Structure 1
Amino acid sequence: MSDIDDIDLPDIPRAPVDPSGDTFGPNVILSDSDLDKAYPNRPRNKNPTLPFADLYLSLFEPLLANKKKRTGVSIRGTNKVLKPHEIRRNIIDRFISRWRNEVGNDIYPTLRLILCEKDRDRSVYHLKEKTIGRLLVKVMKINKDSDDGYSLINWKQPGTSKSAGDFALRCYEIIRKRPMRTTPGSLTISQVNSMLDRLSLASKEEEQLPIMTEFYNNMNASELMWLIRIIMRQMKVGATERTFFDAWHPDAAALFNISSSLKRVCWELSDPEFRMDSDGKSVSLMSCFQPQLAQFQKRSLDDAVKAMHLTPEDPIFWIEEKLDGERMQMHYENGNFMFWSRKAKDYTRLYGSCFDDGSLTRHLRGAFDDGVKSIILDGEMITWDPRLDCIVAFGTLKTAALEGIRNPFGDGPRPLFKVFDILHLNGGCLINYSLRDRRMALERSVKTIDRRMEVHKYEEAREAVEIERALRKVIAEASEGLVIKNPRSIYRLNDRNDDWMKVKPEYMTEFGESLDLVVLGGYWGSGTRGGILSSYLCGLRVDGNHLKPGEDPMKFRSFCKVGGGFTANDYSKIAHMTDSQWVPWDPKKPPSEHIEIVAGGRGVDQPDVWIRPDKSIVLEVKAASIVPTDEFRVGKSLRFPRFRQIREDKDWQTALSISELIALKEEVEKEKADEEKRIEVENRTRRAGKRMKREYTVLGASDKPADFVSPTVEGGPRLFEGRSFYVMSDATTPKKMGKAEVEQLIKSHGGNLYQTENAVPDTNVIGDKNNVKISALKKKGTHDVIRPAWIFDCIRQHELDLQRGQKGCYIIPIEARHILHAASGVERRAAASVDQFGDSYARDLTMEEISNLLRDMPGAFDRTFASEFVKGLSEHDQRELGELPGWMFKTFVIYVDREGQGEVNENLKPSPLLALFAGARIALDLQDTEITHIIASHDQQRLHELREAIKWRPRIPRIVTRDWLKSSLEARTVLDEEQFSPALGCVTGSA
């Protein structure tokens, strides 16, 4: 008996086989008699379907209008207000009720138009926006070079209307100028479906043109706009598939999740009184289900782990590598296979239906345990190149599969199915079992067929730092990212939730290279980015041996396309900086003297517009890695490119060149090889029981760097004694100091210096700018990089302690401003070392830091007073002031009167500055009845006005000058207000 028989399965019978027409496949047009024979129990409508015009007039347009509303609608004669989601459901319910009453219980003809992107019985049309635009130009018999003809084909380009980026709306604006009908047409929903069936079978323009002409002759402009949305499968009416399913039948969503069939949802659930049992809601063999999807990452890795609700008894979660392929489900029963993609596309012919055909299944003999009779697997189909022994780009998957059919036993790239879940086994549905239990069943059921079908590996983790470590590892291997999973979770069909979360490099910060690239071209956006250049073609300057004799030195080659990371302000700023410099791209006359897009063959999409490099801008772009490609002229490109900032300090001559890119890669690779060699040498030495110790002498450094006194106490320890340091760059802030000087400074205070981060454990890596070595270390993710400012602050605080008579050595905690790169939990510790305003708990601030801290606090106060107070502090010996009592005014409410202050008036602003510094609350208005003190000038007229304003109050505030605040702070106690009254006889009261 096989060990597969030891697995306890739920006592759930098999769900019925999907009767949705898979036998016929998509794009097979059946007559009514054929349908009656194939589906004898399907519901029949009693009347013809509604006109297509009714679909957009009573459903699409009302839903779209409701989508734009932000507030509810009051019901006349009642106090009830309908919220937008209630209005949306009401619109759909009314339409469905009308359909049942006027047409019948078969809603499939209309639902496949409403949810066109979910209809897998009709394949995608062989039509893109430009193709439809050309067809409409011919149908309406307009010149393609006319304004309207050009606007149809170049629909993304902005114009005088607001339709840029919305193709259907652009079509509507042009069609309504020359419609064949001004009133709604008479085509029914059934007739429209029949014509769309014909259109889906037409692959050539001469076949498509008469059908589009028929639509044009029988529809008005609004009907044609919605028809084009259906063809493009971009409805966006403001209601999800779930809303329509719930309105049709309570079990509709559940049935669609396990079958991916609109036809089955409409025909099996035509009776609203019928209810499916639990057996009918289980995944079943040879029926495509809607897979569970991974949630988008939270703002931080800690939030991601917290969202899984781990328990102290079971704090473990799983980390899997995210694969760069196509999500695929495999169904197997007694030697027969079926494959479906995430979007329910049937790939069985490509990968194989049995052990004797296909690019994959012919190699899977022995892949299942002997006890497996039927199974459903969920995984990722990727491309494996056995010659390179690695995963190759996702775009090569279909090519590899077709080649696998033509040459089954060749050594070229091949499909590899990486399995990470099991949903069905020997007639039992496993979706309600935990991921941990499903994984156990998977590992017992499936055997690895090397580089054909493999169980995807995972690792267990308990803390967020382990995710970060794993992410750095996959980035170094040029992988796509990670998926973290809750092993206690069940499988939730067609759902995104926190049990599965993806972590991609582009979601993170501080990963990968940052390169300065010149913008060469732009692409018009669509949807919410319509009417603007939403992505940019960037390139590298041709130099050195790459520049042919006599060529213009202002020559660039395409390198990457960047469209992520921009904000609305970024787009606005780029548009302003490049205004009037863009030129429409002419594929017949490309600007080859300045820009090379591709070397030949397939390449990146040609930009809509281009710009001369000397008129262009430089963008700083970050990425996970640099990868080879044939899509761009350079031959290399960026993986996950993302915009960081505009480099206004650079131009085309100072941006990155091809030679500099090659040198950068070679230097990084050399350092990586040297590092690996050094580690191997140290490992051999350690194994031999020897320990090497180097003493480094810094040449050319002074014995006593300027601005620092000797911290050594006679007979006492030195500040950095017993600590190890590796200095990787010069210091740039708060003062410039060479690398050698920083090393000498550390050494003079007792620190040990090394020239590698792994010489001894707990080495402090010091650096202040992203040179090549630091960038390589950051990619490795093994060490924090701390700025030299931390060294300076430690020494300064130590000197102050010595002046106070404290002879111990105390290393101050690292603050956020000290961190150049964080690879561990140092950021959390740094956040705990300062208060909410950035004031350190462990060290004395400088006068400049105090001034900046006061200036940057929320709100505004008397900036003149703040600057005078800080200046006053600097004029006193801080040993006399000691620690200021931060809450001595905590019982006061202070109003700062700005009138009559003379020159100071410009700098006086109501603010909580004093409250933040000395505990008081600042009143923003004189009408505040809780005011205890008013800070005023000596102006007699203004003083009289203030007395009149407060004399009737039960609690009369005291009127004082600003000197009362300053003197009280310096005296470290609240001084008597009388001596700071602005004039004799001023009104006073209890405070």
Structure 2
Amino acid sequence: MSVPAFAELLERLAFTPSRLGKLALLRQWFATAPDPDRGIGLAALAGELKLRAAKPALVRDLAMARTDPALFALSYDYVGDLAETIALIWPVPPGVNMPPPDLAEVVEALESTPKDELPQLIAGWLDTLEASARLALIKLITGGLRVGASARLARVALAEWSGQPVEEIEEIWHGVAPPYLPIFRWLEEKAPRPDPGATPVFRPLMLAHPLEDEALSALNPGDWAAEWKWDGIRVQLVAGPGGARLWSRGGEDASASFPEILAAMDFHAVLDGELLVMRDGQVAPFSDLQQRLNRKAPGPRMQRDYPAFVRLYDLLFDGTEDLRALPFTERRARLEAWVAREQPARMDLSPLIPFTAWEELAEMRAGARAASMEGLMLKRLDSPYTAGRIKGPWWKWKRGTQNVDAVLMYAQRGHGKRSSFYSDYTFGLWRDGPDGAPELVPIGKAYSGYTDQELLFLDKWIRDHTTNRFGPVREVERGLVLEVEFDAAQKSGRHKSGVALRFPRIARIRRDKPAEEADRLETLLAMIPG
């Protein structure tokens, strides 16, 4: 399957907003694309295509050598996306009449071509392609695909196309490398299901639905267990004779970012838990954990200053024994026995909260923010561990959100469909400056929460009220108030304001409120526990 055919898939995925529409496009790709191209496309969409590095700077330098640098800079400033700018501005020399490359050809050539010959190879491909296919090629080789199709969505499409349960696919996914030929042969009933053997593969997590307060009255307290919803990130620990892996909730390998946890996994089990930073037995704020996230090789100082820890929730496998079909009470008993027996380093057991009435839990939930908790988890005592978000067995009863009225300070273009819009917003609150006059200090950045109509308004307002430019970023007049909603505020030494927000989003645009009446930094500081 040629690069233009893959480009058509990417373009249609990017401009298809509905999940069902994206699934239909992916099913068609699996049904019509040949091997190994369909597997290469699947790996690219899932973010698991590990090609030999072709840095964005290499492609940028190729384009700048063929165009006027000033024109390139102006085009990049307007478009806002490097790959899209190159795809549009690339001048095709006359007389080029070569067939476009296949995906397999691209992958093979990138792996086998000497580094000093890569520029000529890539330039030759770009010369043969139309603009949309050039964009797809650049995104493919630099790893920048953003079309709203996650790895999970791709696996769901595989399940729908083949008729196999998505849980069956997910349990072998990490045991087979791209282009996934054994998986496709199994799904087409041409070979048995691949056996990952002792490979430390990811098992899909069991997820919870949000619980509304009024729904509690329909539940019998005696049927439920409660525990804290810790303010970290959900992880799965898999260890055994085939090695050890630390997986994120989405099935991404986080092992390299937390080597001290990996070193402590000298057991044979699959565990569900919450990754935290822990000091002297106390859970640190989420902002401390953020220091560790996405660090591929944290050094000794980082590990010392931000020590990682896992609070265990559940035991899925004890050795080779699969416990997921057991009720929660039995799995919990097995987990308690396992922790007592193994005494794993850098891990402990998430305690259950004793209660007899919902009013008791409601009172505890009311104090969750002061205790730096996200809220509570409710789990049916008879619930098996079932992959996915099944309504009923597990509920998450989160603390309420918080809000401040902040002033828009800076804006930046987004990515993908939003690359032509100023959709990423930095906002701030007032405080007294060194001379006593009020000044704005940034407190966060958000790029969600608003409607398409509000995006159009914000984009036009930003263009009409720009006071300065810093590359792709525009500074704007201090005249627009945004109501910002967030889950929690925490102290942070990394930010000028001294505050970091957890999950900020735009709740509404306060066109009715003068900027000078926006909230002060002291208002936000007062929301931080302690």
Quickly name the TM-score band, shorter chain normalised. Answer: 0.7 to 0.9
Deviations 1:82-141 (A, max 9, x none): x97997588446515xx3xxxxxxx3453122342436462696756xx577345336x1
User: Which residue number in structure 1 is paired with residue 189 of structure 2?
Assistant: 273
1:529-562: CA deviations, max 9, x gaps?
A: 454332422223342xx4248xxx4643222224
Amino acid aligned to 1:609: R
Residue identity opposite 1:339 in structure 2: L
Structure number with higher strand proportion: 2
Alignment check: 8 A CA contact 1:53 1:185 kept: no
- 1:95 has 2:32 as partner: yes
CA drift of 1:181 comes to 8.1
Residue type of the alignment partner of 1:525: G
Calculate the TM-score normalised by the size of structure 1. Answer: 0.45
- Unaligned runs of 5+ residues in structure 2 are none
Q: Aligned in 2, Cα 1:385/1:439: closer, same or farther, shift over 3 Å?
A: same
The CA deviation at 1:519 is 1.9
Q: Using a 3 Å threshold, how does the CA distance of structure 1 residues 150 and 114 change in structure 2: closer, same or farther?
A: farther
3-state SS, counterpart of residue 185 of structure 2: coil
Q: Deviations over 1:628-656 (max 9, x none)?
A: 22343222243443444444565444444
CA distance in 2, matches of 1:573, 1:267: 50
Alignment of 1:831-850 (within 5 A): none
Query: What SS does the aligned partner of 1:263 have?
Result: coil
Deviation of the 1:581 alpha carbon: 1.2
Helix, strand or coil for the counterpart of 2:204?
A: coil
Alpha-carbon spacing, 1:476–1:193, altered in 2? closer, same or farther (3 Å): same
Look up the match of 2:170. Answer: 256
Cα deviation digits, residues 299-330 of structure 1 (max 9, x gap)? x3445997xxx6x6963254431432362423
> Does 2:269 align with 1:375?
yes
Aligned equivalent of 1:431: 324
CA contact under 8 A between 1:484 and 1:502: conserved in structure 2? Answer: yes
- The aligned counterpart of 2:123 is 213
Letter in 2 for 1:359: E
Q: Does the CA contact (< 8 Å) of 1:435 and 1:488 recur in 2?
A: yes
- What is the DSSP-based 3-state SS (H/G/I as helix, E as strand, rest coil) of the residue aligned with 2:79? coil
Distance 1:241 1:382, change over 3 A: same
> Is 2:208 the partner of 1:292?
no
Matches within 5 A, 1:935-974: none
Judge conservation of contact 1:326–1:394 (CA < 8 Å) in 2. no
Measured in 1, the distance between the counterparts of 2:14 and 2:49 equals: 30
Unaligned runs of 5+ in 1: 1-49, 71-82, 100-106, 157-165, 352-357, 366-372, 588-606, 674-991
- Name 1:359's counterpart in structure 2: 260
Q: CA deviation at 1:609?
A: 0.8
Distance 1:465 1:565, change over 3 A: farther
Sequence identity percentage: 17
Code of the residue aligned with 2:409 in structure 1: it is L
The match for 1:134 is 60
Distance 1:609 1:237, change over 3 A: same
Does the residue aligned with 1:496 lie in a helix, a strand or coil? coil
1:384 Cα offset (Å)? 1.8
Distance change in 2, residues 1:399/1:192 (3 Å): closer
- The alpha-carbon distance between structure 1 residues 181 and 463, as it changes in their structure 2 partners (threshold 3 A), is farther
Q: Provide the residue aligned with 2:474 in structure 1.
A: 609
User: Relative to 1, partners in 2 of residues 1:120 and 1:580: Cα closer, same or farther, differing over 3 Å?
Assistant: closer
Pair 138,181 (structure 1): closer, same or farther in 2 beyond 3 Å: farther
Provide the residue aligned with 1:458 in structure 2. 352
1:619 counterpart residue number? 482
Q: Provide the rounded CA distance (Å) in 2 between the counterparts of 1:460 and 1:136.
A: 65
- Give 1:456's aligned amino acid: S
3-state DSSP of counterpart to 1:523: strand
Matched to 1:521, the amino acid is Y
CA distance in 2, matches of 1:66, 1:555: 41
- What's the counterpart of residue 641 of structure 1? 504
Aligned equivalent of 2:246: 339
Larger relative contact order (CA 8 Å, sep ≥ 6):
2
Match of 1:114 in 2: 42
What secondary structure, in the 3-state scheme, does the structure 1 residue paired with 2:353 have?
Answer: strand
CA separation in 1, counterparts of 2:93 and 2:353? 63
How far 1:610 sits from its partner (Å)?
Answer: 0.8
CA shift for structure 1 position 174: 3.4
1:244 to 143, 158, 176: 158
Kindly provide the CA deviation profile for residues 403-435 of structure 1, in whole angstroms up to 9, marking residues without a partner as x.
675798x6x331112221222113212222233
Aligned with 1:446: secondary structure? Answer: helix
Matched to 2:210, the amino acid is Q
Matched, 1:151 2:75: yes
Note closer, same or farther for the CA distance 1:465–1:538 as it changes in structure 2 (3 Å cut): farther
- Alpha-carbon deviations, 1:690-722, whole Å to 9, x = none? xxxxxxxxxxxxxxxxxxxxxxxxxxxxxxxxx
1:443 — aligned with what? 336
Is the Cα contact below 8 Å between 2:155 and 2:170 reproduced in 1?
Answer: no
Change over 3 Å in CA distance of 1:285–1:436 after alignment to 2: farther
How many correspondences in the alignment? 521
Please say which of residues 186-195 and 258-267 is displaced more in the overlay.
Answer: 258-267
Root-mean-square deviation (CA), in Å?
4.7
Contact 2:27 2:157 in 1 (8 A): no
Instruction: Give matches, 1:347-746, under 5 Å.
Output: 347-348=254-255, 351=258, 358-360=259-261, 374-386=268-280, 390-391=284-285, 393-397=288-292, 412-447=305-340, 452-459=346-353, 468-493=362-387, 495-498=388-391, 499-505=393-399, 508=400, 511-512=401-402, 514-527=403-416, 529-543=418-432, 546-548=433-435, 553=437, 555-571=439-455, 574=458, 580-586=464-470, 608-613=473-478, 616-648=479-511, 650-658=513-521, 660-661=522-523, 665=526
> Does the 8 A contact of 1:318 with 1:487 survive in 2?
no
Q: CA deviation at 1:347?
A: 4.8
Q: CA 1:427–1:435 in structure 2 vs 1: closer, same or farther (change >3 Å)?
A: same
